[in-house]
Amino acid sequence: MANTLYPKFKEALLQGQINMLTDTIKAMLVKTGYTYNASHQYVSDVSTYDNGRSSALTNKSVTNGIFDADDIQITAISATQVIAVVLYKDTGTDSTSPLIAYLDTVSGIPFTPAANGTVQIIWDNGSYKIFSL
């Protein structure tokens, strides 16, 4: 699987339900066992495979349709292989927090973190940053 945007995110974005600059956008480490599914819509659809979540992304930008933010750190929950990073809009409740992007080509993925170890996610500094529309 290559990096992809969840279809329901595209729909919500076009309906003005998600604002990448003002909404609380976070990242989740996704562990082995999860398979991307285009019908997944909320964090609750992938939370079984959660291996740690970030705080809110900072210094976000959307210049020329390219989404970027500062690199992040996440504390891994377990020493289980991470296969992707999933971005989502945090509403405070998994069942209403929309999924945004499935990213499995982030530098260093897959990897196996130490349990309770801090993982640094460094976003691409190339022309497409985190993702591009």
pLDDT block averages, 10 residues each, the chain of length 133: 92 96 98 96 98 97 96 95 97 98 92 93 91 93
Domain-embedded: residue 133: no
Starting from the edge strand earliest in sequence, which strands make up the sheet with 99-103, in order? 4-5, 99-103, 82-89, 25-31, 50-53
Domain-embedded: residue 132: no
Nearest CA-CA partner of 82 in 37, 50, 59:
50
| Domain carrying residue 92 | 4-127
Domain-embedded: residue 59: yes
Q: What is the model's pLDDT at position 1?
A: 64
Domain-embedded: residue 16: yes
Domain count, the chain: 1
Q: What is the model's pLDDT at position 7?
A: 97
Question: Whole-angstrom Cα distance, residue 110 to residue 80?
Answer: 10
Question: Whole-angstrom Cα distance, residue 113 to residue 132?
Answer: 28
Q: What is the model's pLDDT at position 128?
A: 87
Q: End-to-end distance of the chain based on CA atoms, in angstroms?
A: 18
Count other Cβ atoms within 10 Å, centred on residue 123. 21
